[in-house]
Amino acid sequence: MAKNIVLASSSPRRRELLENIGLTFTVDTSEIHEAQPAGLKPAELARTLSLHKARAAALRHANSIIIAADTIGVLGGKILGKPFDALHARKMLAEMSGRCHRVITGFTVVDSSSGRAVSRSVETKVFFRKLSRAEISRYVNTGEPLDKAGAYAIQGLGALLVERIEGDYNNVIGLPLFALATVLKGFGVTLPV
Average pLDDT, the chain: 93
Phi and psi torsions of 108, nearest 5°: -135, 140
Task: Look at residue 192 in the predicted model and tell me its pLDDT.
Answer: 87
**Domain ranges across the chain:** 4-186
CATH 3.40.50.970 fits 4-186, yes or no: no
Q: Per-residue pLDDT tens for 129-154?
A: 999 999 999 999 999 999 888 999 99
pLDDT at 88 over 80: yes
Q: Per-residue pLDDT tens for 25-61?
A: 999 986 666 566 678 899 999 999 999 999 999 999 9
Extract the runs of DSSP E, i.e. beta strands, from 76-116. Answer: 78-80, 100-111
Task: Look at residue 39 in the predicted model and tell me its pLDDT.
Answer: 81
Task: Look at residue 40 in the predicted model and tell me its pLDDT.
Answer: 87
No. of helices (H) and no. of strands (E), the chain: 6, 7
Task: Look at residue 166 in the predicted model and tell me its pLDDT.
Answer: 98
pLDDT at 101 over 70: yes
149-173: average pLDDT:
96
Share of the chain above pLDDT 70, in %: 95
Q: How far is Cα 114 from Cα 116, in angstroms, rounded to an integer? A: 5
Q: How far is Cα 103 from Cα 122, in angstroms, rounded to an integer? A: 8
pLDDT at 69 over 60: yes
The whole model's pTM is what? 0.91
pLDDT at 12 over 70: yes
Task: Look at residue 140 in the predicted model and tell me its pLDDT.
Answer: 97
Active site residues: 70
Q: How far is Cα 68 from Cα 57, in angstroms, rounded to an integer? A: 9
